[in-house]
Amino acid sequence: MTSAKTKEQLNMEFKGVKYILTSSMRTKLLISLYDNSKNLDEIRNNLKKPSATILHGLKELEEVNLVKKNQKYYELTSNGYILTTNMIKLIDNWYSIDKNKIFWDSHDLTGIPESLLNKLYLLKDSQYITSTTKDLSNAFNYYINLISEVKNLNIILPIYSEKHLKYIIQFLKDEKLKHVNFVINEKILRTIKKNEFLNKNLIKSNKVTIKETENDLKLFLTISESFMSLSLFFKDGYYDDSQILVDKSIDGKKWSQALFNTLNNGDENK
Amino acid sequence: MEENNYNINKKLIFLAKSEIRLKILTELKEKPQTLNEIVKKTNITYSSVSSNLNKLEFNKHVIKDNKTYELTPMTKIYINHLIEFKKSMDIIKNFNNFWNKHNIDYINNESIENINDLYESKLIETNPTDIYKTHNTVKNQLIDSKSLKAILPYVHPEYPKLLEQILINDGNIELILNKTIYKGLLGNIDKKTKHDSIKKGNLNVHILNKDLNIYLAICDDTMNLGLFKNDGSYDQNRILSSKNKKSLNWANELFETIKIEAI
């Protein structure tokens, strides 16, 4: 048996978290009172639970000073308000991350700094595009389509892929695309330079700037004025060209720009 | 309300349900460890740690490599959010006297979401042998400070001289206050000093027609926060004070938000 003293300490340390998060009645009551104070009838209508259950829950929350009763109205105390704000933040973040869980779970995330992994919730509006057995290049075509309509690109390039680069050269020639800013690992860059066509039209183009990095890049990130896209490697080290995560929201842009800046400056805070 | 959106996730409940599990996860968040290391560090019994690690491994929250257990990347993220939440609860608990029965209406939601930035603050409370402790804490900062950003809901008789000295030393002051406070405070500062400072841009005052029920004083490297009690009176007996960089940023954000909202 774990000693009584240790148990007591654990109890003290985590009691609050467990108390709040493991009772759906308590969390629902707090959320119900978050927007405005309510009387019993209103709470009952809101939660569709019997009065006895609700009253029991309210009494518990009153005892720990998260809720107070004012005339016939129940309201959150300042403690209750701070707690509920942060509880909703937790639930929102959790939900946002879960939305693309399959994508995150199946890939190697070690290329993304921890500070940004903790902000994955910013990508709540993103969707992932997957190639199917019917259309093996669905993800690739989607990507080309995206970059065919933008003026500026910031790209973290971890792979050598002629077909990607040839499209970029094409769009630069068409003058729709004005400027591309690459961060490339030195090994990949050397390989690109060996290809005469790519060297002449991409590396030496005055519309292209390249930052060479010694870091082993483990993600393919593209940012433009209208979207960001991300592809990753599988956990076994192979690049996954069948899935791409795309986000067009302001939050998505914020997240990806922070990721780009971190890798561009080389100060991965790992 | 969109009740369904706020159903607590089953996985979250699984992780939060057992204090022992939470402790193990918190330990592994720090660094990957072996079963024995966890037992040693936490004083939880071997069998209990072992059975919980098995459960966690089965649910893909941890992976075992040789003898070392490590959080999976996604679980690490979840745990970080959970620990952030725990921290916010700690802040409520640690500074209970400060929040409890006090008015937090002037702290906007974003600041409340970032309340963890105040984690390393100190609660300074007066006591029978030192009834001016809160005032003296701020006073000592003002004496040394080259700058001040403040929302002042009351004037202490010593404030005019303290602020005047900052201005004489060519320091910078930005204030948000109502008319009454304005007269009481700036009426008692030497006129020439006041006018010169305004001309130089060293003194900025935003005057409001309404009351602001919050006290915030940001000096060079310390921030101080004071609240009103629910009965409407200012609580002079406690302030939350911090030199921590995050807290300072937090206070500056709050100052700027109140400035925008009030003007």
pLDDT of B107-135, one tens digit each?
Answer: 999 999 999 999 999 999 999 999 999 99
Residue A214 forms part of a structural domain: yes
The pLDDT of residue A4 is 82
Check B104 against A28: CB less than 8 A apart. Answer: no
Q: What percent of chain B has pLDDT over 90?
A: 84
- A216 with A130, same domain: the answer is yes
- A115 with A83, same domain: the answer is no
- Does the pLDDT value for residue A270 go beyond 60? no
The pLDDT of residue B210 is 84
pLDDT digits (tens, 9 = 90+) for B52-90: 999 999 999 999 999 999 999 889 999 999 999 999 999
- A199 with A252, same domain: the answer is yes
pLDDT digits (tens, 9 = 90+) for B17-50: 889 999 999 999 999 999 999 999 999 999 999 9
The pLDDT of residue B2 is 41
Residues 6+ apart with CB under 8 A from A176: A148, A149, A151
Residues 6+ apart with CB under 8 A from B123: B94, B95, B97, B98, B238, B239, B240, B241
The pLDDT of residue B118 is 97
Nearest-by-CA chain A residue for B86 = A17
Chain A positions in Cβ-Cβ contact with residue B92 (cut-off 8 Å): 79, 82-83
Output the CA–CA distances (angstroms, integers) from residue B189 to A75, A154, B137, B193, B209, in the order listed: 44, 55, 22, 7, 21
Q: Is A25 on the interface with B (CB under 8 A)?
A: no
The pLDDT of residue A92 is 87
Residues 199-238 of B with CB under 8 A from A: none
Q: Is A56 on the interface with B (CB under 8 A)?
A: no
**Is residue B80 helix, strand or coil?**
helix
The pLDDT of residue A1 is 61
For domain B103-262, the CATH superfamily is Endonuclease Chain A (3.30.870.10)
Q: What percent of chain B has pLDDT over 70?
A: 97
Task: Count CB atoms within 10 A of the CB of residue B104.
Answer: 20
Residue A184 forms part of a structural domain: yes
Chain B positions in Cβ-Cβ contact with residue A4 (cut-off 8 Å): none
CB-nearest to B19 from A14, A20, A98 is: A14
* CA distance linking residue B226 with residue B211, whole number of Å: 15
The pLDDT of residue A269 is 39
CATH architecture under which domain B3-85 falls: Orthogonal Bundle (1.10)
Residue A82 forms part of a structural domain: yes
- A135 with A19, same domain: the answer is no
Check A79 against B113: CB less than 8 A apart. Answer: no
- A13 with A30, same domain: the answer is yes
How many beta-carbon pairs under 8 angstroms link A with B? 140
Average pLDDT over chain A, rounded to an integer: 91
Q: CATH code at A170?
A: 3.30.870.10
Nearest-by-CA chain A residue for B109 = A85
Distance from CA of B74 to the nearest CA of A (A): 7
Q: What is the mean pLDDT of residues A118-146?
A: 90
In this prediction, residue B6 has a pLDDT band, given cuts at 50, 70 and 90, of low
What are the structure tokens assigned to A85, written together?
């704000």
Domain closes at, from A96, A118, A137: A96
CB-nearest to A22 from B16, B100, B112 is: B16
Domain closes at, from A40, A75, A96: A96
Q: Which residue has the tokens 């842009």?
A: A253
Average pLDDT over chain B, rounded to an integer: 92
Question: Higher pLDDT residue, A135 or A208?
Answer: A208
Residues B144/B169, Cβ–Cβ less than 8 Å? no
In this prediction, residue A214 has a pLDDT band, given cuts at 50, 70 and 90, of confident
Check A83 against B9: CB less than 8 A apart. Answer: no
Q: Which residue has the tokens 């700036």?
A: B186
Q: Is B59 on the interface with A (CB under 8 A)?
A: no
Q: What is the mean pLDDT of residues A261-270?
A: 66
Q: What is the mean pLDDT of residues A157-182?
A: 95
Distance from CA of A85 to the nearest CA of B (A): 6
| Domain membership of residue A71 as a residue range | 4-96
- Does the pLDDT value for residue B4 go beyond 50? no
In this prediction, residue A268 has a pLDDT band, given cuts at 50, 70 and 90, of very low
Q: Is B115 on the interface with A (CB under 8 A)?
A: yes
A152-157 and A179-185 beta bridge pairing: parallel
- A52 with A164, same domain: the answer is no
Q: What is the mean pLDDT of residues B92-112?
A: 95
Nearest-by-CA chain B residue for A119 = B77
- Does the pLDDT value for residue B9 go beyond 80? no
* CA distance linking residue A183 with residue B28, whole number of Å: 33
Task: Show me where the domains of chain B are located.
Answer: 3-85, 103-262
In this prediction, residue A267 has a pLDDT band, given cuts at 50, 70 and 90, of very low
**Is residue A180 helix, strand or coil?**
strand
Q: Which residues pair with B178 in a beta bridge?
A: B208
Domains: count for chain A: 2
The pLDDT of residue B3 is 41
- A139 with A169, same domain: the answer is yes
In this prediction, residue B8 has a pLDDT band, given cuts at 50, 70 and 90, of low
Domain closes at, from A81, A96, A111: A96
The pLDDT of residue B248 is 97
The pLDDT of residue A266 is 62
**Is residue A145 helix, strand or coil?**
helix
* CA distance linking residue B227 with residue A118, whole number of Å: 32
The pLDDT of residue B107 is 96
- A137 with A220, same domain: the answer is yes
Q: Is A101 on the interface with B (CB under 8 A)?
A: yes
Q: What is the mean pLDDT of residues B145-167?
A: 94
Q: Which of A83, A57, A104 is nearest to B93 (CA)?
A: A83
Q: Is B40 on the interface with A (CB under 8 A)?
A: no
Residue A270 forms part of a structural domain: no
- The residue of B85, B86, B91, B101 whose CB has the most chain A CBs within 10 angstroms, and thus the best one to mutate to test that interface, is B85
- Does the pLDDT value for residue A119 go beyond 50? yes
Task: Count CB atoms within 10 A of the CB of residue B122.
Answer: 14
Q: What is the mean pLDDT of residues A139-149?
A: 95
Q: Is B5 on the interface with A (CB under 8 A)?
A: yes
Chain B positions in Cβ-Cβ contact with residue A10 (cut-off 8 Å): 19-20, 22-23, 44
- A74 with A200, same domain: the answer is no
A50-54, A134-138, B156-160, B222-226: the lowest-pLDDT one: A134-138
Distance from CA of B116 to the nearest CA of A (A): 10
- A130 with A114, same domain: the answer is yes
- Does the pLDDT value for residue A136 go beyond 90? no
- A122 with A192, same domain: the answer is yes
- A74 with A157, same domain: the answer is no
